[in-house]
Structure 1
């Protein structure tokens, strides 16, 4: 509430005729550090934005976030060039965004003003839960960075860079309210931090240790950096009761010939499968694959084709992938130890999908010795030979 009042988030007014006040709720969360130690109790006022009407309460709502590829490439630069990498967090980031629309909200539960219980809050700033909140925050932060002389990169609108006299530079990566600041000079980074703190309520996290659930470990002497999701993988295994499972050595065994034939057709079988957290497990695997685990990209791509109607064989395949992670939870991406050169590799199978007979394309790009971009997906058309499949993959 202090943050809301400090940011002049709303004012109390009478609700105009024909307008509806949005409801809200308090959301409570336990914040933990990279070692899963409790750091603070967090309360957040969230607007029930699902009640908003398009054209009345919001218009454009898209907001970009930094690409995972950008994060990995920059960390590759950090390792090979021995750069400084610091981290900051924006407190109540969405409260900084200015609203273009007229939006009304009921008074927060437990903080109704005595004698004005019938009045509502006219929002001056965006709040968590509003559909346009992420976009308004990004617009505010973007205008600040442009005003400081930074430029957005063409490849990623959430990567800002500025070059200074003498060859120094600073790169800032923004993922909603998390940011990494990279540069050669610690003093220049601290100067940017001071400017950010003047305009926004910031928390200085010092040298980067983790970002988006990925742990960052450095060896400055040997110019190496490791990006790991060990703790995330362990939490996923615990969530699906696989922490004691027997490990396997491959992401997907040769015995799995997955197809739509394994999908349940009888209602009784479908009802049994609804009790199995198939989609949730695949989603958890997908996040690991997107961040640091290119080795499971092909396997996750296969099991994700059956999300709408998974069968028992599909679920066994998902558990196999979890068993593979059980034995490889310490696997990580390693950057450094080689020149910062971008290299690409590409391959394809032929008619691997048993339902459509389409081939699967796969590519992987490395930078400074570590993987930075990868993908495994079905091709859009059916290839008539291995040569054609590989030719399609190159495009």
Structure 2
């Protein structure tokens, strides 16, 4: 079928993956002997195939050009070639002969009687959208022949290494360009060659391996190149990186590795350190470790194959025995953490027993230095400039590091430090997902969800693509790291990812419409103002009354409060007096302060009654507040616009420039 599709339109053979995908699409929607009275697609999804989805492969298609991308006299559409339907967005997949790009577009007019005259010419370069590239590479990785040219560090001929698309950080777009079958532009080859050489130099500088014969009974693990275009906070290109990665998925437990766990800092911890530093008017700085995993010592005996494009002449049959843990090994993160943890201990740092990624170092006259570790990113602050300078000097001497200066971009989160306080946001990411889901031009709304909104799993409505719906929910879930005001709405739509309908999708789109109008909003914190931790989840038990539900919630809040108090105690910022928890239920307050057991509360689990002990010991104090002043309500229910905006402001989420204006007005 693939040959027939290519032959009919005289389409170049380089488009065989698209022809294969379209063949699979058609066969899954065609009658078959094994499934009676329905197609395989209908048997799987419960939906009948739509007739509009079937177009002639390779026919002419005119893709609509949005107004913002064309001038007044430009054509309203671009002449393209139909290559199928994108599984990522359910849009049409088209090849644009002018730009030589494969793009997706939902607004298309087809001319199925016409085909493109290729004139026997093969496209010299084809650029793919990120969603389609991963799909294409999965087909290519099993078909590409192996070619190795040791004389050149960058092989123009494709190798047998597998390709991958990596999304470990929200600011990194990863591609395995080395293993493409199409020719790359010359300017990109220079960046790749330079980045690869730098990575090999870093590996050899750290004495990470040695070339040996593979011992009998041992096996070697393959490697591959992964390329990254690292972006800055403005969305521009920061630098191009190449990383040699071991194929850790081929490792065997208790043979090539044992323990793999390593702690990373929680966002709550990072926000707490930011808040405390802001309260004391301390500056927060940032360091980034280059090739951090190459510093971790390996305990196991692991062998890897020689690097594609860097095979040693005369030693083609030998392998590398690893001394350090490269990227991709399952135990790489644990090895790196063990290495840096040992170094901090040698330097006199004390590890926090309640958060193993926080370290403190004390000097004379109440001098203190606090650092927080997240894999290879370190943020640190101190009340003494000398301690800051000495720490940075010692770290850069021990490890190959980059001084990032004042903290401004951390884990995809934008941080702005000023004398007025600290602002954190994910503005760039919010704009990216609005553009990704084609909602950047939508009309904004005041609240993320409608009052009285009720969704159900068995609700009526046409089913929508569950893959797209899951992508939407996942993107919004990550955004809740700095936007607690959308937490409830995102939590609500996340309950229906298995069988979403148009009603659920409409609720999800409303969140994007809310983001469109609040894309510049940030969390503002200065000392005792602004949220540093928030959580929303269903209770694990079935409560029988409002009082019982509020009592269980207060007990859960107390657990978080105790942990934060202990962290502050370690950071020499011990809280004086009890932690206040505001509650809008008088019965809960009375139940927490009085040892009463009556018919409506005697069945409550004993573990929740430790709240009484905390109140008795002066650790927690439940204080009554009116429902309209209960900030937690923004996380539990849809609210009217006036109440929502009031609680959002009390939460610390607002337009950052508003606070700057207030500060300037007060100073003047």
Q: 1:7 aligns with which of 202, 206, 209?
A: 206
CA contact (8 A) 1:99 1:136 kept: yes
CA positional deviation for 1:263: 8.6
> Which residues in structure 2 correspond to 1:187-202 (within 5 Å)?
187-202=386-401
Q: Which residue of 2 is the match for residue 344 of structure 1?
A: none
> Which residues in structure 2 correspond to 1:309-348 (within 5 Å)?
309-336=499-526, 340=527
Q: 1:110 aligns with which of 306, 309, 312?
A: 309
Unaligned runs of 5+ in 2: 1-199, 556-668
Q: 1:251 aligns with which of 429, 438, 448?
A: 448
- Does residue 465 of structure 2 align to residue 273 of structure 1? yes
Alpha-carbon distance in 2 for matches of 1:322, 1:296: 10
Q: Which residue of 2 is the match for residue 239 of structure 1?
A: 436
Alpha-carbon distance in 1 for matches of 2:234, 2:508: 28
CA positional deviation for 1:374: 0.7
- Does residue 261 of structure 2 align to residue 62 of structure 1? yes
Q: 1:139 aligns with which of 328, 332, 338?
A: 338
Alpha-carbon distance in 2 for matches of 1:263, 1:21: 55
Determine which structure has the larger helix proportion and give its number.
Answer: 2
CA positional deviation for 1:307: 2.7
Q: Deviations over 1:29-65 (max 9, x none)?
A: 1122222222221000011111111111111101111
Q: Which residue of 2 is the match for residue 391 of structure 1?
A: 551
Q: TM-score of the superposition, structure 2-length normalised?
A: 0.52
Which protein shows a greater Rg? 2
> Which residues in structure 2 correspond to 1:288-307 (within 5 Å)?
288-289=479-480, 291-307=481-497
Alpha-carbon distance in 1 for matches of 2:210, 2:500: 50
Alpha-carbon distance in 2 for matches of 1:151, 1:262: 55
Q: Which residue of 2 is the match for residue 348 of structure 1?
A: none
- Does residue 373 of structure 2 align to residue 183 of structure 1? no
The Cα RMSD (Å) is 1.6
Q: Which residue of 1 is the match for residue 474 of structure 2?
A: 283
Q: TM-score of the superposition, structure 1-length normalised?
A: 0.87
- Does residue 164 of structure 2 align to residue 164 of structure 1? no
Q: Which residue of 1 is the match for residue 248 of structure 2?
A: 49
- Does residue 295 of structure 2 align to residue 130 of structure 1? no
Alpha-carbon distance in 2 for matches of 1:215, 1:236: 16
CA contact (8 A) 1:262 1:312 kept: no
Counterpart of 2:342 in 1: which secondary structure? Answer: helix
Unaligned runs of 5+ in 1: 341-367
Q: Which runs of 4+ in 1 moved over 6 A?
A: none
- Choose 202-211 or 34-43, whichever is displaced more: 34-43
